[in-house]
Structure 1
Amino acid sequence: MAGRLAGKVAVVTGGSSGIGQEIARRLAVDGADIAVADVLPADDTRELVTSTGRRFFSDKVDISDEEAIQGFAGRVRGELGAVDILVNNAAVVLLSDVDHVTYDEWRRTFAVNVDGAFLTSKAFLPALKESGAGRIINISSSSYWTPPPVAVSYVSAKGALNGLTSVLATNLAAHTITVNGVAPSLVRTAVTVATMSEEFFAQVEQIQDIRRVQMPADVAGVVAFLASDDAAFVTGQIIAADGGATRR
């Protein structure tokens, strides 16, 4: 049975693992062919996507490098055709408060989390306009509304990404391109498990209405909705997929 994204091509940045990998898998399950841009190999994601019968392409790309992401966009078109869906998921997470964060750390966080989303959106904009129903989905964070004290560059960058989401939605509406964000809570991935204590996971659970750890599939389901025709009249929104944490 064809999925609701059948015939679509989706790009997921940072899709080699974690949230990005699950987004790629879910969009493939829903029928989309998948391209992944990441600085790490995406072999595991390739296996997950191709097992659904969908086509897959990946390349090692630093999305903060304009020339590199423009080249990637051309290669994706050559391999899979014009892109309909762009998920700006790649991110750098640096845990420092304002007293200890360096300017280099600050700039690197913004270079990937904000500049990368901007450059990638620009690179794929011609294809998204061709689509007639283009989708840009930016992965934000509920930490923008409930900021921990040790993530000054990360939270600031996610705030800027929210602003980019809003203005792109206005800029691109005439091209029938919707632009939205998804803001999860603390998601259990290999990276967060390696950097966060179980005590911290438990603390986050306690500020959520839904008292369990968030998993990548919880984010991917919302992305799949926003990528589909069911969300054709949703744009400029930051959806807090965070178990109710930010409304408490």
Structure 2
Amino acid sequence: MQQHHIHTPSAPTFDQQVVLVTGGARGLGEHLVRAFLREGAKVVINYLKSAQAAEQLANDYPNQALALQADVTDADAVGALFAKAHAHFGQPITTVINNALPAFSFNGDARENAEQLSWNNVHQQFEGIVKGALNTTQAALSGMREAGFGRIVNVGTNLFQNPVVPYHDYTAAKAALLSLTRTLSQDLGPDQITVNMVSGGLLRTTDASAATPEAVFDYIAANTPLRRVTTPAEFADAILFFASPWSRSVTGQNLVVDGGLVKN
């Protein structure tokens, strides 16, 4: 009986990848950048306004890291970033981590409720989260196809399943990003490009969660199976999985990393 061998493409290890982390200079982004650098990847640290933090981080890893300014909502600026990165490292960006977040404070007490919510709030989040991810994805495609490999990881939220705080605008934009994650995974699969989402809950602590009252951290910890709030470093490690060769057959998925609070 004849055996049919299906060719499984080998996936590049971290040291063969150029990784873009949007919003990579501070908060969760900085932890993501450090996680990839630790594993030997070359990393583009994208920032909007945090030039000093981005440059300082890049200077710590002179041969591995490159700090580049770009507003992810500006397609031309994103395209220029990809061109600069390609010229600098001599190879295209093949791994994109869509982490950038439009200005947002995670303080439920100060957020707009159903009566106060304006379309401007929603539009701002959609522009930064959905348009930003679309721009980086489109800018990445030619390089990914050239390399025969691509990894796109979008940062989501466990508020889809557990909307304990009314972040209507933020959650709606992240939910749209989850749908885009799934449709893109279907569209780009034949090119060996995987598209996944990793969704955190409250992280202790990032710039965005600095406004969160202490009582909320205590409440989340008490209701989480692991009895603690997930750290940005723990979340970053889960993102590494989706860029690694170990996830080469995983696409269109949403992994919740929150200590077991939400079962996905």
* Superposition TM-score tier, normalisation by shorter sequence: over 0.9
- The 3-state SS of whatever aligns with 2:129 is helix
Is 1:166 equivalent to 2:175 in the alignment?
no
Is 1:209 equivalent to 2:225 in the alignment?
yes
2:200 alignment partner in structure 1: 184
Q: Which amino acid aligns with 1:88?
A: N
Alpha-carbon distance in structure 1 between the residues aligned to 2:206 and 2:51:
15
1:23 alignment partner in structure 2: 32
Is 1:86 equivalent to 2:96 in the alignment?
yes
Alpha-carbon distance in structure 2 between the residues aligned to 1:193 and 1:153:
16
**CA radius of gyration, larger in:** 2
1:70 alignment partner in structure 2: 79
Kept in 2: contact 1:143–1:185 (CA 8 A): yes
RMSD (Å), alpha carbons: 1.9
Q: Which runs of 4+ in 1 moved over 6 A?
A: none
2:65 alignment partner in structure 1: 56
Q: Report deviation, 1:179.
A: 0.7
Alpha-carbon distance in structure 2 between the residues aligned to 1:221 and 1:117:
21
Kept in 2: contact 1:29–1:52 (CA 8 A): no
> Size of the alignment, in residue pairs?
246
**1:84-136 CA deviation, whole Å, 9 max, x = no partner?**
11000111336322221222221111100111111111111111222222100
- The 3-state SS of whatever aligns with 1:91 is coil
TM-score (norm 2): 0.87
Q: Report deviation, 1:215.
A: 0.8
Which of 104, 113, 119 is the aligned partner of 1:103?
119
Structure 2: stretches of 5+ with no match in the other structure: 1-11, 106-110
Q: Which amino acid aligns with 1:114?
A: V
1:234 alignment partner in structure 2: 250
Kept in 2: contact 1:12–1:88 (CA 8 A): yes
2:4 alignment partner in structure 1: none
Q: Report deviation, 1:188.
A: 1.8
Alpha-carbon distance in structure 2 between the residues aligned to 1:72 and 1:52:
19
1:35 alignment partner in structure 2: 44
Task: Decide which moves more: 145-154 or 133-142.
Answer: 145-154
TM-score (norm 1): 0.92
